[in-house]
Amino acid sequence: MNIAVQVAQIASEARQASFVMSRLGTKAKNDMLLAMAEALQAQAPQLIAENAKDLEIGRQKGLSNAMLDRLMLDEKRIAAVADALREVAALPDPVGEVTKMWKRPNELMVGKMRIPLGVIGIIYEARPNVTADAAALCLKAGNAVILRGGSEAINSNLAIAGILQSVMAKQGIPTAALSLIPFTEREGVLEMLKQEELIDLIIPRGGESLIRFVVENSRIPVIKHYKGVCHVYVDDKADFDMAERIIINAKTQRPGVCNALETVLIHKDAAAGFIPRIAVTLSDLGVELRGDEAFRILAPIAKAADESDWHAEYLELILACKVVDDMDAAIAHINRYGSLHTESIITSDYSKAQRFIREVNSSCVMVNASTRFADGNQLGLGAEIGISTTKLHSFGPMGLEDLTTTKFIVYGDGQVRE
């Protein structure tokens, strides 16, 4: 059977299964997730054997050690994947929640009730744990899910999906609610992206080139985020100890992730007091500084920043630094160069804190906190399905609720329209 026909078939069966999933009770969904966690651990040896095939092919292909490490599954990692499923089981079920309800003058009761989105497609790279994580979140929110993982992990992914599906079959849940596209050809992705009548949402997880490929080829809505150019603005009314602690944390605690700090903006009246000390501290921690002229006067160790530095998502121990005239100049810089991800002001001034919160329209806006908190788990959403830096549907870290929508519900007793 050719790829186009087979993908259309998978999508069509997923759509049918989504009707069953949308009606599945909370207990049935949680029991399924807990049994999936058990099954993954019970079948770890088989899973590790399938994973070994991917690792062997990867080595032959010359994948980097970092790539091979991300691909690798062992008992401990499988236990972590199982625990992640148990955590999703423990989250509250968003489906059926009535988020508000009001009465109309004609006594109609009108409300909004959370319902699943329907069928969600996840397109991701070579991390087999995503197969279980993403599936669990989609299913818990009452959706059917179609997974398309990286070709490097195809044997591992098929094994994981097979284990999860066998649990579903045992519990009388249609296995079509969790499908894995079984081809590694790019055509499989392209066909998936054409199923606009059957798939409600596509979430790509991976590097910028994967995401751009998906966006350019999809007729289905895509929730995405390309990069995180996160800013900390150090106000003239900042507590410098706190500012230093937050900048060190945001830049160095895990520099390779999207919520790490990339640019510091410093109020000109804070410059003399703050720049010399932060330059020393950060240099001692191995951070390369790139500053504008005003910054470099006070921190000669810094290299000269050019226009590209203000746009840069370094993802390593490099920090762009700029002196600004005031908070408005900082906000203007963020509007111009930011990626709508996360920005934090360090200040003890009440009005400025409130104004920064109101006026900066990135997906996470913080006062006196590290940008590293911009994460579904850290913000209290539970497990995270992704981050959106586009404003439609979801903006910022996305949890279970973001895999649902709301319908209007109307309770009447015979009302007709005049």
Q: Which residues here bind its own copies, judged by CB under 8 A? A: 19, 22-23, 96, 102, 104, 108, 110, 113, 115-118, 200-201, 215, 219, 221, 239, 242, 245-246, 248-250, 253, 335, 344, 353, 357-359, 361-370, 372-374, 378-380, 390-393, 395-397, 405-417
Strand ranges of the sheet holding 201-205, from the earlier edge strand across to the other edge: 178-180, 144-148, 119-124, 201-205
Return the biggest CA–CA distance within the chain. 78
Residue closer to its own copies, measured from CB, 16 or 175: 16
CA dist., res. 330 & res. 345, Å (int) = 10
CB of 392 to its own copies, least distance (A): 5
Choose between 25 and 170: whose C-beta lies nearer to its own copies. 25
Amino acid at 242: M
Instruction: Please report how close the Cβ of residue 372 comes to its own copies at its closest, in angstroms.
Output: 4
Least distance (Å) from its own copies to the CB of residue 301?
Answer: 24
Sign of the dihedral defined by the CA atoms of residues 68, 384, 255, 216, in that order: positive
Written as six digits, the tokens of 277 are 């000390």
First to last CA, the chain: 56
Q: Which residues lie across from 113 on neighbouring strands? A: 98, 407
Least Å distance between CB 6 and its own copies?
Answer: 23
Q: At what angle do helices 75-90 and 129-140 cross, to 10 degrees?
A: 10
Give the H or E element holding residue 290. Answer: strand 288-291
**CB closer to its own copies, 118 vs 149:** 118
Backbone torsions φ then ψ of 74, nearest 5 degrees: -135, 180
CA 71 vs. chain centroid, Å, equals: 19
152 vs 402, which CB is nearer to its own copies?
A: 402
Q: Which neighbouring-strand residues pair with 147?
A: 122, 180
Burial-class residue 355 by CB neighbours within 10 Å (0-12, 13-18, 19+): middle
Residue 325's identity, in one-letter code, is: D
Minimum CB–partner distance for residue 45 and its own copies (Å): 35
Residue type, 89: A
Instruction: Give me the least distance between CB of 416 and its own copies, in Å please.
Output: 4
Least separation, in Å, of the C-beta of 142 and its own copies?
Answer: 10
Taking the least distance from each CB to its own copies, the nearer of 30 and 390 is 390
Q: Per the structure block, which two tokens stand in for 198?
A: 């059957």
User: Minimum Å distance from CB 314 to its own copies?
Assistant: 18
Element (H, E) at 215: helix 208-217
For residues 34 and 248, which CB has a smaller minimum distance to its own copies in the complex? 248
* Nearer of residues 312 and 331 to its own copies, judged by Cβ: 331
Q: How far is the CB of 200 from its own copies (least distance, A)?
A: 5
Closest CA to 411 of 102, 110, 103: 110
| Cβ nearer to its own copies, comparing 155 with 362 | 362
Nearer to its own copies, 71 or 117 (CB): 117
